[in-house]
Structure 1
């Protein structure tokens, strides 16, 4: 089939590469416009645009799919559109332009976590299972019938960035199977059933870690907002990014040292921080204006930890 692939971030790259290696033809890639990146604000194409250029595939850059973009896509006479984290909604007549419409790879077990941040919200909630789901795109948010869904186990210490990178590879294979089935005329879509939950992008307020929650909840929050928008707390006037954490082995209320919520302590070479129940291990931090570093090494540089509290 003749395919148009829409996507922007690195999570969409595995699907683009997988389809480029298939028997189908990618006639164009649709992606968001280049944006300023880094300290020097260098105008940089999206990861998808960069890979499309490498593959020699024509690229349309657009922040929204208007009449002009729709006409450009229609001129290519595509059989199917494939979308993975493009970053903008498609409306009719764009939805109806490919002969078979559009399929979307979504990183949740729909109808759970419809929206922009399904992986982040699942990790923040402490979920241990999710899924890579391919469904028919409709105008309603992530509401179309499902062609395939592949279960995925969330590692208890994985950040949302870790999970998304792994799911992008899994999802690429699911997309490839669905595209092949659509080409063969054997694909079957099933309407979504169950409770609908939403997954809006985490805010800065979501990223501010509260230590008056249980350790597992604090750990899930840190993991869920990493790498974006980035977990943080304050030590006095200093903002500290919390990059990695771990639940202390054997950390029961009776065996773990007592630390008030947010209080710091060095035990057996590990930096612990108090929570509502048992202490949590901080393994990697980034103080303001400095590089990421081992959390225990950072704590040793603070001097005596008595009275030092993350808040």
Structure 2
């Protein structure tokens, strides 16, 4: 099969490599244009562009489908297009280019969590199961018929970054299996069934922690936005970035330790070698954090240095 691969971030790279390793004829790779990265805003190729160049594959860089791009893709005589987190909308004219259409690898069990941030929303909601789906792309938002599904369990302490890393590899296997089945005429797509939920992109404001929420909700939100866009709170009006938190040992997932006094929401206290922070229910143990203008550090080192400021309360 003559394949176009479309993708942009690092989670799409395992799929590209898996297709090449499986022997598919990847005739071109479509990715977004170079973007400014870091404090110096250096224009940098996407992870998929870098991987494609390493593999010796032709790269097409475009953020949107123009008539010229559709014509260029049409000239490639494509059997199918595989798309993984490309980051752009494929219009009707583009959808019609490959003979077998566009096969999208989406990191949820559709129709759950249609949208740009499926893993983040699954972690935020406290789902027990997540997974990946291959489906035929159409004009609706992740509404197309399904070719295949794989699932895995979600633990209470897992971050969205860790889940995406795992799914990027297991999902790549599913994508290869789907395209192999299409090539052999063994697979067909079936309509989605079940309850629909939406997963819009989470913003920086979505990543701000409300300490008045229950401990389990605070922990889920921090895990959901780790590493992107990154959990944060404020102390004396300055932003503090937060790493994952944990329940007090021996207390269960977010449950109270009977031997520890309750803390008001946002109040920070050092107990032994643990730094606790109060929530709307039970205290949580801080891991790493990054005060304004400093590097990420252990909460214990930070708390010892900040003790001279008196009472510490996250806002």
The equivalent residue for 2:107 is: 107
Distance (whole Å) between structure 2 residues aligned to residue 188 and residue 262 of structure 1: 52
Question: Equivalent residues in 2 for 1:1-311 (5 A)?
Answer: 1-251=1-251, 252-253=255-256, 255=258, 256-303=260-307, 307-311=311-315
Per-residue deviation at 1:304? Answer: 5.4
| Paired residue secondary structure (1:211) | coil
| Paired residue secondary structure (1:158) | coil
The RMSD of aligned alpha carbons is 1.2
Distance (whole Å) between structure 1 residues aligned to residue 31 and residue 238 of structure 2: 38
- Greater shift after overlay, 300-309 or 229-238? 300-309
Distance (whole Å) between structure 1 residues aligned to residue 247 and residue 191 of structure 2: 39
Distance (whole Å) between structure 1 residues aligned to residue 297 and residue 195 of structure 2: 42
| Paired residue secondary structure (2:287) | strand
Per-residue deviation at 1:172? Answer: 0.3
Per-residue deviation at 1:271? Answer: 0.8
Q: Deviations over 1:130-158 (max 9, x none)?
A: 11111110100000011111002223222
Contact 1:222 1:242 in 2 (8 A): yes
Runs (4+) off by over 4 Å: none
- Greater shift after overlay, 129-138 or 253-262? 253-262
Distance (whole Å) between structure 2 residues aligned to residue 162 and residue 207 of structure 1: 17
Per-residue deviation at 1:205? Answer: 1.9
Q: Deviations over 1:279-311 (max 9, x none)?
A: 011101011111111111111111157631111
| Paired residue secondary structure (2:243) | strand
Q: Which runs of 5+ in 1 are unaligned?
A: none
Distance 1:303-1:61 versus aligned 2 partners, 3 A rule: same
Contact 1:265 1:305 in 2 (8 A): no
| Paired residue secondary structure (1:302) | helix
Per-residue deviation at 1:204? Answer: 2.0
Distance (whole Å) between structure 1 residues aligned to residue 21 and residue 155 of structure 2: 30
Q: Deviations over 1:198-242 (max 9, x none)?
A: 101112221110011111110000011111111100111221001
Contact 2:8 2:32 in 1 (8 A): yes
TM-score of the pair, normalised by structure 1: 0.97
Q: Deviations over 1:13-55 (max 9, x none)?
A: 0000000111210000000000111122211000000000000
Distance (whole Å) between structure 1 residues aligned to residue 246 and residue 176 of structure 2: 36
Distance (whole Å) between structure 2 residues aligned to residue 165 and residue 238 of structure 1: 32
Q: Which runs of 5+ in 2 are unaligned?
A: none
| Paired residue secondary structure (2:74) | helix
Contact 2:275 2:303 in 1 (8 A): yes
| Paired residue secondary structure (1:296) | helix
